[in-house]
Amino acid sequence: MSNNDDASFSRRAALAGLGASLAIASLSGVAPAKAESASPADPAPPLIDPTTRYPKPPFKGQSQPWPGLASKMDPRPDHGETSYRGSGRLLGRKALITGGDSGMGRAAAIAYAREGADVVINYLPAEEPDAREVMDLIKAAGRKGVAIPGDLRDEKFCQRLVAEAVRALGGLDIVVNNAGRQQSHASILEISTEDFDATMKTNIYAPFWIIKAALPHLKPGSAIIGTTSEQAYDPSADLYDYAQTKAATMNYVKSLAKQLGPKGIRVNGVAPGPVWTPLQVSGGATQEKLKKFGGNTPLGRPGQPAELASIYVQLAAADASFATGQVYGSSGGAGQP
């Protein structure tokens, strides 16, 4: 082979390599970039002992009227307000999160915004003080935040919520059905039909109505995420109605994933164990249970919403494109999955 042939071959090889790089970049949605690695001189971040990272029981006795405010809890829950750092994993995405004022919904809203998404949150009017804090955090991340209060037990409101979210964000590609109602009752005889109906409407009917309304707007690559619970697998005696709804959530995740998989829409769930949220202080746990809350986990404490934020990000992100019909657990070593 002549020198000219060598040069021609080298150019062809270089162009072929460039073409492959561009093809990979096109599939991944990012431009080719030089790989970077941490310098050996960079100090390693310290290990964090999960058993002592957050407060342990005993907790103070405390109660609030339903639905409760995170801002009035002692200790105040950590939703990642000061700790979550984004890296652009959800840049340009458009998310609707129910129950986005506190708990896992708030943690997801903060994380999504810091990962580059615009976010609509829904909450009950009584939760307005917490919701305003979330709006401030989303806007501080440089993203669009929209707050839409309303009662998810109303089918027409659920339909209007989705329509307003689509209009405000210019579309929708992430739906997080997180809002939940949990009330502790020692006996089934203590649960009125009205109580039972309120739990079913909030935890089962609302996701049904919201998904139906959202589906015509969801394109391939979109994600639906439901919040189930360890209660779906190992129900407590005093959460008869709530546990049923979480088993139903786990089931709709798996069923809907099969239905929507061919359309390129992924459906997954998150199953928390004991997590420190307003659910517990507004009737979801007895005072005796509250004081010892989370103490029976192998880590000896309840989880904080911030510790689940990355799971909601992962299930929404494009690099989890083969995960559908999955339920990701986070229970401090106790419970399933």
Residue 166 is encoded by which pair of tokens?
């689509």
Q: Which residue is associated with the tokens 């015509």?
A: 216
Prior bond to 75 cis, omega within 30? yes
The answer to whether residues 257 and 89 touch, using CB atoms and an 8 Å cutoff, is no
Strand partners, 227: 270
Considering Cα of 319, then 323, then 327, then 330, what sign does the dihedral take?
negative
Q: Which of 242, 252, 312, 328 is catalytic?
A: 242
The answer to whether residues 206 and 176 touch, using CB atoms and an 8 Å cutoff, is no
The helix/strand/coil state of 17 is helix
The DSSP letter of residue 78 is P
- Burial code (b: 16+ CB inside 10 Å, e: under 16) for 116-141 equals bbbbbbbbbebbeebbebbbebbeeb
**Rg of the Cα trace of the chain?**
22
Enumerate residues 6+ apart whose C-beta is below 8 A from 97.
Answer: 105, 108, 109, 112, 119, 120, 121, 122, 176, 178
> Is 242 marked active-site?
yes
CA distance 107 to 308: 7
The CB density around residue 184, as the number of other CB atoms within 10 Å, is 20
Which residues are the active-site residues? 242
